[in-house]
Structures are given as structure tokens and as C-alpha cells.
Homo-oligomer: A and B are copies of this chain.
Amino acid sequence: MFWLLFSIFLTACIAAGSTGGLFSPGPWYRNLAKPSWTPPDWVFPVVWTTLYLCMATAGARVAMLPDNGVAMAFWALQVALNSLWTPVFFGLKKIKLGMVVLTALWLSVAATMVALWQVDMVSGMLFIPYLIWVSIAGALNASVWRLNPDEAKQASAPAP
């Protein structure tokens, strides 16, 4: 049963993660001013693959346990928000709206971690790296916003 559940949760992660390949960082992102500590491009898929394995493991463990309702609801919420960020940031090039989505994602990941932890400590711990990474991604999104004020203004204006 664990492996069936793991496969389903991992497929959900892959659906969310596929946005990274579909809306990949193009010339627009490369030309943005970025903080000195910006990770190189190759780091992102490596980190996300690790995080997706942790997320699917946590989801599958808790799905088999009683009183998992809140954790399962938050797991679904964070994966939906995870799918949303890349199309908003890289697809629409909306830096400020990306920040809004990332803030919502951070809150949902934190809530999922707490809810998982109450059912199964190991599952809660498996969400710690994810929360750390979303914090880093949030700091990066915020830095990009601060360093590219005109771009942030322009890209957020409605299309003509």
C-alpha cells in the first residue's frame, strides 16, 4: 500500500514539477539582476527531485494513518500552489505576483509540516528541507523584485 500511495503522490509532484521544464528560465530571467548568492541553474532540478521524493514519502506515510484529514488537505493545497508559482513567475514574468504565490506556498508548506508532524513525526521532519528551500526561493524572489524595480512594475502591468 505504501508504494501505491507513494507513486500517486510522486505523480502529483511530477505534475507540479513539470512546470519547471515547461516554463524554464529563458533570456528574461538570465538578464534580471540577481543577488550574489543565487544558486546556479543546475541546482534547482536536483533540489526539487530530492524534495519531491521527501514530499511523496511523507504523504504516503500519513495517508495510511488515522486522523490524517488536515495533513492530507494541506498536502493537496501545497502541491496546487507549487504548480502555480513557476507559470506565474517564468510564464507571466510577474515578479510581485510570484511573491504572493510564494508567500502562500510557504504558509501552506509550514501548515502541512505541522499537520503531518501531529500524525507522524518522521513525515513532519521530511518537510523541513522543503520549508527551508521555499524560504530560500522566497528570499530570491524578493531580491529579484528589489533589484529590478522597473521590471517588476512593467511585468505586472496588464497586457495591452
Please give the residue numbers on chain A whose beta carbons come within 8 Å of chain B beta carbons, in ascending order: 1, 4-5, 8-9, 11-13, 15-16, 18-19, 22-23, 26, 59-60, 63-64, 66, 68-70, 72-77, 79-84, 87-88, 91-92, 97, 104, 159
Q: Is the interface of A mostly helix, strand, loop or mixed?
A: helix
Which residues of the other chain, B, contact A80 by a CB distance below 8 angstroms? 12-13, 15-16, 79-80, 82-83
Of A4, A75, A87, most B-chain CB atoms within 10 Å: A87
CA distance A116 to B60 in the complex (A): 17
CA distance A26 to B81 in the complex (A): 24
Copies of chain A in the complex: 2
Q: Closest Cβ of chain B: how far from A122's Cβ, in Å?
A: 16
Which residues of the other chain, B, contact A8 by a CB distance below 8 angstroms? 70, 73-74, 76-77
Q: Which of B5, B76, B82 contacts A69 (CB 8 A)?
A: B5
Q: Closest Cβ of chain B: how far from A71's Cβ, in Å?
A: 9
Find out whether the CB atom of A60 lies under 8 angstroms from the CB atom of B87: no
Q: Closest Cβ of chain B: how far from A57's Cβ, in Å?
A: 12
